[in-house]
A and B are shown apart, each in its own frame.
Chain A
Amino acid sequence: MSLLKNPLALSLALILGLGAGAASAGPAAKLPERLPPLAPDKALPVPQIARKTLANGLEVWVVPRQGLPRVDYVLAVRNAGYAADAADASGFASLYAGLLVEGTAKLDAKAIAETAQGYGGAIGANATNDGVVLSGYALPSQAAPMLQLLSDVAEGASFPDDEVKLAQANALQGLKAAQAQPGFKATRALLAAVYGEHPYARSQPTEASINAITADKVRAEHARRFRPDRALLVITGRVGAEQAFKLAEASFGDWKASGEPVADVAPAPRAAPAQRVFVQRDGSVQSALRLGRPAIAATDADYVPAQLAGIVLGGGFSSRLMQNLREDKGYTYGARGGLTALRGGGMVQVSADVRNDVTGASLGEFVYEFGRLNDYPVPAQELEDTKRYVAGGYLIGNQQQRSVASSLAGNWLIGLPPEFLGEYVPKIRAIGADQVQAMAKKYYAVKDQSIVVVGDYKAVQAQLKEYGEFKQEK
């Protein structure tokens, strides 16, 4: 709401896993003589996770903390997200996740909301590609009843007919509202270019997919997707490990799976033909630019070095893209990008929204920066700064309780072990400039990037000639 220097978030950040969001690069400015030195680094805190698996297969991880007065719960269910949606049910998982808290056998939607409010907390679910995450938090005195509410929802969501109908009607309006946003159309086109027919291309709803939903379908999918042997419960906050395990057993011990579990997502493509797509948006005063290509899964050996390469390119305010397109050229409010890795694959993507008359010039700068990352090793100081930036990001996230819980759950959903969180920074520190350049050649070559432009074709058409023939879409 406020007018910000830049659109990068600093506040509570709950990105799952290790998505984009770190960087430092830019031109190596000469440091002022009188600038004080950095003090010695303190030891990196490493997650101490108490782990237990209940008889029904539910994994429970506890990270006791003595921070603010709050207990956080994150229940992640694998293979319950967009990737599990049928080909003609694109975006189903988000509507389904939203409906989880709209009624149980015991409580109607209003009672669920009021109960959570009375605990000094909230409860809600959202879908990701690889799962559904149901989260709740409460004041410490209400830790036990909040976990009970979470299990009532997970095990007993009833999906009342009228709530499903209302969610459908609102989703149709929500889709109309979203389609007015340039970013929404850009994402849709880029995902299609990158993932093709793979389920990862389908995370946005369509009018048809919303209309096809029925309460019976939602209930059937819930029974199929939500099961203890595909779930992880992370508990963090003012609660001891033993007490947390007891609470988890009391609330979730009787949860039972039924039928066959959802199959793992098929591997996503690791390469795709580079496409050129223009999506017409009448009256646009900016072009939304998106470039991307398929990449790798989070468990791939290249994940950490490819992540670091992306952070150098477009991870944060000091990244090359931001420094070039914003700080040097004044083309945009924000240019960013990097690697997104999921369970079955991933993508590289970069983005900027730029005024119409620098659309072509901005694409030129993207091309230049991809090329520079390929052709030259990252200078030592820039690489060191970027690694420190990543380490700092770890510490900053680590300071926040919910961020810890969400990261653990997010990593688990994409197949990374619990230790990964604490190992990430040391792994980043071990990467050399040669590895970054190798990653650039593999995943950040400009010839492999699809280009999507959302804007006013008449206004920018002439600037796009040198970038190829753009397929026109609505």
Chain B
Amino acid sequence: MRKRHLCVLLAGLTTLASAAFATASAAESDRWQVPVAVKKLDNGLTVVVSTDHSSPTVGVSVVYHVGMRLEPKNRTGFAHLFEHLMFQGTPAAPKGVFDQVISGGGGRNNGSTRPDFTNYIEVAPVSALERILWLEADRMKTLDFNPTTLKNQQDVVKEEIRVNVKNQPYGGFMWIDIGQHAFNKWENNHDGYGSFQDLENASLADVQSFHRDYYGPNNAVLGIAGDISPEEAFKLADKYFGAVAGRPTPAAPDYSEGLNTAEKRINQTDALAQVPAIAAGWKMPARGSRDQAPMAVLGSVLAGDDASRLYQSLVKRRQIALNIEPLYGLTDPWSYNGPTLYTLFAMYKPDSSADAVLAAIDEEVANIAKNGVDAATLKRVKTKMLADWYNGLEPFIDRADALAVLQTLWGDANVVNKIPTLIEGVTSADLQRVAKTYLTQANRTVIDRRPAATAPAPAAAAPAAAKN
């Protein structure tokens, strides 16, 4: 159910590195302090740099503070379609140039759309850095608003939706449908992939105004990680982005919403799936609240890995599920800034039921709410989370992206070094509190999705397998 990737390869060695060490409560050798330097250009572009000379490569991420929440109401899927169009050329660099220059410089690039941000990421030998910055600044200025490329990417996005949703067992219900049912406001509950009709209706005027309104330097963060000093990186950022004019960004509506007060249960049938599955999602604490880190730790205690309580309960002891996978919206426990879900996804056995899975989840949650979590387990889980946090920052492309995303959503890239401390500070009492507050039946949305061939007669809820 993870993003499907074709992989890059290869490796070799590096013997010099520049990891600075922070002193901390854990074994000192186990700590890692990521260097962070931040500068804001006159046009409002925030630049975040993390130097690491251990490899002659560099990661770049340009994060725009706009995602699915802020797309036009009659244009579901537009933020994502727009992301595709950012790769389709500009007056100065026509279609084909962008990818050719980056791959011809030895690099890789990609982009992705989330509820709160859209990111454009590259990694390449450092010899290509100036070219990458030139290309990113060029498409920040303007695009080639072109009917041919619009049509082409409407087609490509529709194929993406077919491959990930319409031709796919489960159709991504654990990350698409669950939010549509859990949230109350349109910004949070519409389909970020979009309807085919809305995608087809997108016009060049829509593309132009979205670029104008949300793609200015003042609404963006540039992250750079790797073989370059902060001074040099700031100089290059100024050289290539300094002349891009800022532009007014529309005020965002209030899309906040409270926790749910009544459980939602949805039954779906699936014409393609052969194994029944369930997704249960709970609304999460707000970004930056004191409950955020405890919720992250609780999520790991419950379903972080094979040592987790729910894996052991559902898969090993009760043997009613094949897997248990946690999802944090479309991102992770730290990279959101609006209503989002902690979702558990499990495929369960044909002789079991969604209710049996939920009962097992409820039992573990109730146990934590009542008794907290023993010290040994808490220490183990925190140790693993700390290591996972570092592991996620290893590739320069991900390091640059994490810094740019945290700067965008938290207003502080240094959060990258604060998260380990936040994790370590979580107590058993914190876990009891968040279990009682968030993982309640009232705050829960559940989708039970059964293969069409084996589904019982439809209950009250209408089946909602594939949407057009």
Contacts and interface: CB of A to CB of B under 8 A. Distances in A.
Given A35-B131, A36-B134, A396-B123, A13 B9 contact: yes
Interface string B260-277: 000000000001111100
A353 B226 CA distance: 36
Nearest to A114: B307
Interface stretch (B42-50, B100-108, B213-221, B247-255): B100-108
Interface string B109-152: 11111100000010111111111001100100000000000011
A110 B103 contact: no
Given A5-B110, A67-B19, A69-B390, A19 B160 contact: no
A220 interface: no
Interface stretch (B283-291, B394-402, B409-417, B433-441): B394-402
Contact of A283 (B107, B108, B156, B271): B271
Given A66-B54, A318-B99, A19 B9 contact: yes
Contacts of B104: 24, 318, 381, 384-385, 388-389
Contacts of B5: 7-9, 11, 13
Interface stretch (A165-173, A201-209, A263-271): A165-173
A283 B269 CA distance: 14
Given A24-B103, A67-B14, A116-B307, A45 B55 contact: yes
A314 to B, nearest CB: 10
Interface string B140-178: 000000000001111110111011001111000001000
Interface stretch (A254-262, A290-298, A328-336): A328-336
A46 B12 contact: yes
Interface in A97-112: 109-110
Nearest to B107: A392
Interface stretch (B79-87, B199-207, B357-365, B456-464): B79-87
From B6, B306, B312, B383, residue with most partner A Cβ within 10 Å: B6
A31 B384 contact: no
B384 A42 contact: no
Nearest to A404: B11
Interface residues of A, number: 127
Interface string B63-103: 00000000000000000100110010000111111011101
Contacts of A26: 96, 99-100
A441 interface: no
A117 to B, nearest CB: 4
B259 interface: no
A121 B167 contact: no
Interface stretch (A81-89, A176-184, A272-280, A371-379): A176-184
A389 B100 CA distance: 10
B371 interface: no
A24 B100 contact: yes
A170 B128 CA distance: 48
A15 interface: yes
Contacts of A284: 167
A132 to B, nearest CB: 18
Contacts of A326: 156, 159
B331 interface: yes
A180 B11 contact: no
Given A32-B92, A173-B349, A10 B56 contact: no
B211 interface: no
B146 to A, nearest CB: 13
18 contacts: A3-B192, A5-B112, A7-B4, A36-B131, A45-B12, A45-B56, A48-B15, A65-B13, A69-B31, A110-B316, A114-B380, A286-B162, A327-B152, A392-B107, A392-B125, A395-B125, A398-B11, A407-B11
Interface of A: 1-15, 17-24, 26-32, 34-49, 63-70, 109-110, 113-114, 116-122, 138-141, 166, 169-170, 173-174, 176-177, 179-182, 238, 282-286, 316-318, 323, 326-328, 330-334, 336, 353-355, 381, 384-385, 388-389, 391-401, 403-408, 421-422, 424
Given A177-B322, A283-B271, A327-B96, 12 more contacts: A8-B108, A26-B99, A67-B54, A68-B19, A68-B394, A139-B387, A141-B30, A355-B162, A389-B104, A395-B57, A407-B10, A407-B12
